[in-house]
Structure 1
């Protein structure tokens, strides 16, 4: 029983950092798509909620501790984020979060550009549910077509 809970917890916690971890662990533990997708979506959304509610405090304390030099604000990467934000807004950031950004990164970007919390949560939920189940299905049934994951695939 404890090992089963630890497996669920590893999928959940891994998905908080990178959404692809959940489906890969779900296949490794031989869980079905529903369990894997659900735990993956919940993990991603936990990151989004934590960053949205506590992001300003985390940034304030981490900068005080690290006392880093001020970096150049406009880099190639930040310009790309601004272009995505200007063109697509919160829905675009939410849709691209699982594939381009980590859940933490997507939440930081959406909050940094001033997205409304209600919009961030709504679109991130839609995105996390879509991508979690899609990636769980993809890894389960087409894992052998993704050689960089080192999976044997299938059903």
Structure 2
């Protein structure tokens, strides 16, 4: 029975344990549960605020990324437009330079052609004048000399022709 008395509580012990439990529960609820619960509420509120701030930050980052993508697309389009304009300007400048070079080349060729024609005409006139002068000199020499036969005239003409060097 001694063993049974240890296992089975007595009514007095049970009463005092219940009273102590209730007093402890009252003191804890009065002094400990309030601050613990308010600390838990504050913690829950701070976690909620942190989560909402993280969601807001995520939304802001997504907006910034979208804005950055739009700016990047716009910058690429602007770059492509500038490159196209530069290419067009380079092509235009190249075509203008080619046209000017062709015009200048044609002008120089025409000027050279005119100069060659002028010098050719001058050379032909000089040859004509020299030939006329030479023919007059020969005719004068032939007429001055009295020749009796045609063989002497031919010999004289051949001799004058050998004397005249057409260089």
Whether TM exceeds 0.5 here: the answer is: no
More RCO (CA 8 Å, sep 6+)? 1
Superposition TM-score tier, normalisation by shorter sequence? under 0.3
Q: Indicate the structure with greater helix content.
A: 2
Bigger Rg, structure 1 or 2: 2
